[in-house]
A = this chain, B = another copy of it.
Amino acid sequence: MTPAPDTDNPRVDRTRTAILEATLDELADVGYGAMTIESVARRAGASKATIYRHWDGKLDLFADAVSTLKAMPRYVESDDPYESIIAFVEAIADHIANGRFAACVPALIEASVSDPAVHEFHVRSSAERQAYGASVLDAARDAGHLAADIDTFAMTERLIAPIFFRRMMAAEPFPVDDVRPLVDAVLGPHWRR
């Protein structure tokens, strides 16, 4: 990403923010393939020249805009490690059902097919999200609630994959209320009280 030369200027900051938000809205509506610098400029009420002053081109703008999305859902840790895991998976379900990140996932998947740089960015941020979930399971394992040799990264995938599956392949997003039955069925049998 090109560093803005003059981020101390609040007017420039507002313009940059408006352009990044227009980029995400455009991605959600038409996807990466159909998005153009021109369509983003029109949406943001800015000129193409302004966009090119701040970003090297479409991929640079895309990467900067997507990096502003909260890729890491916030969850409230509990004293009970099992409840912390439930809270993490519920946060993923909420994150994938609502908001800009959810709306941009199909654009990320689409752009990954044709653009190696987008692909690299997409799979890396997905792996970081999964590793974050695995760290919640690691804490439970270290407290003796899971077998010492459990693959927490793979187990995290088994807990979050149905949520992404529903978003991509089904008519309705995964209901947050269905997270507990999911965790109970998949993780529950491996849990040691």
Q: Which residues of A pack against B, CB within 8 Å? A: 28-31, 33-34, 106-107, 109-110, 112-114, 119, 122-123, 126-127, 154-155, 157-158, 160-162, 164-166, 168-171, 181-182, 185-186, 189-190
Oligomer: number of copies: 2
Bound CA–CA A107/B32 (angstroms): 12
Give the Cβ gap from A189 to chain B, nearest Cβ, in Å. Answer: 3
Which of B114, B154, B169 is within 8 Å of A31, CB to CB?
Answer: B114
Q: Which residues of B contact A28 (CB under 8 A)?
A: 113
Give the Cβ gap from A118 to chain B, nearest Cβ, in Å. Answer: 12
Interface centre among A106, A154, A165, A168 (most CB of B within 10 A): A168
Q: Which residues of B contact A30 (CB under 8 A)?
A: 33, 114
Bound CA–CA A188/B89 (angstroms): 22
Q: Which residues of B contact A122 (CB under 8 A)?
A: 169
Which of B109, B112, B127, B158 is within 8 Å of A162, CB to CB?
Answer: B158
Bound CA–CA A162/B181 (angstroms): 17
